[in-house]
Amino acid sequence: MSRVLEIHDIQFDGDNLLVTALVDDAVLVRGQTLLDPPEWGPALCRGSMLMDPETLIPATDSELCALVGSRIDDWAPIDWDGEHE
C-alpha cells in the first residue's frame, strides 16, 4: 500500500480512474551504503485503478488519498518541472 500525500488530478476514463498524486517513498533519494540503508522520498506519480460502479467516492481529501493509496500499486513517477501548476 502506498501512502498518498496529496492528489493533484483525477480523471475518469471509462471504468478506470486515472490519478496524478504526490506519493511518499516513490523514488530513491540516496542509495544504500555500508553504514546506511537506502533513503526513499516522495514524487509526483501517475497510477490507475478500476472503478466499480458501486464504489462510493469518499467525501474528504484524506479518505480519497487512503482509498487511492490502497487500490493503486503501480505508481509511476513522472517528470515534473513545476511549470504546470
If phi > 0 it is left, if psi is from -120 to 50 it is alpha, else beta; for residue 17 that is beta
> Does the residue 85 lie in any domain?
no
How many other C-beta atoms can be found within 10 angstroms of the C-beta atom of residue 67? 17
Residues 28-56: pLDDT tens digits? Answer: 899 999 999 999 999 999 999 998 878 88
Residues 6-32: pLDDT tens digits? Answer: 999 999 998 899 999 999 988 889 999
Domain ranges, residue 20: 4-31+38-77
Between strands 76-77 and 16-30, the pairing is unpaired
Torsion of CA 17, 19, 25, 29, to 10 degrees: 140
Mean pLDDT score across all residues of the chain: 89
Please tell me the total count of domains within the chain. 1
> Does the residue 82 lie in any domain?
no
This prediction has a pTM of: 0.80
> Does the residue 52 lie in any domain?
yes
> Does the residue 25 lie in any domain?
yes
